[in-house]
Amino acid sequence: MTNDENTYIGMSLPEGIRYVTVFEKGDFENCGRILRTFYRTEDRVRKLLALGNLLHLGGSLSSNENKTSCWPLNNGNPIHEAEISGKEKFFLLGDWTYLYENGRWFLGYEGKIYEISNPEFSVFVPDKEHTPSPLDKGLYFAVIGETGKLEFTPEIVNGWDTWKSLPKRVSEKGKTVYVFRKTQLIKVIKPKKLES
């Protein structure tokens, strides 16, 4: 882990990596999800980098789109993006680094690189002891309790970071888990021993 708490968003180009700095909310939940949802094309990423350094990232490049907009730190004067040679150097810039390359987003965190464009990469828990709140993700996890009613239980999220790893956690709990996004049931995961 570096001592640099800034976040870096870059794009791989033939001449190197062009990047900008984001000064607030650079974690996966506040930055990674936005990048892979709203900045999926090379054109959008180039326009994002053209804004220069950002206080914080939003889904919109301007305030006239109906989304939360980026907050550039330019005060009317563009702050040009920087360049660096090589992915290795880029991923060492700070704790949270995001690189757009060949139509996909990659996250660099603590010396590891994760491909986050894949929809199965839905939760990133960097600290094994950290328990993310399902409310932060818009997800709710429920099991059927002893009374036959749904009981919402946030502790089921301990130790999972992708949809592929969640069935293992469910099998460890031994109960079928119902995953909701707000009020909509989006997935039912049964423990391996209960699957039929």
Q: Where are the domains of the chain?
A: 7-115, 134-194
Contact 98, 30 (CB under 8 A): no
| Range with lowest mean pLDDT among 27-36, 73-82, 122-131, 175-184 | 122-131
Q: CA-CA distances (angstroms) from residue 20 to 15, 48, 164?
A: 16, 9, 32
Over 90: is that where the pLDDT of 52 sits?
no
Average pLDDT over residues 149-170: 71
pTM score, whole prediction? 0.61
Residue 109: predicted pLDDT: 83
Residue 186: predicted pLDDT: 74
Percent of the chain with pLDDT over 70: 68
Residue 9: predicted pLDDT: 92
**Residue 19: closest CA among 82, 97, 61:** 82
Q: Which of helix, strand or coil describes residue 77?
A: coil
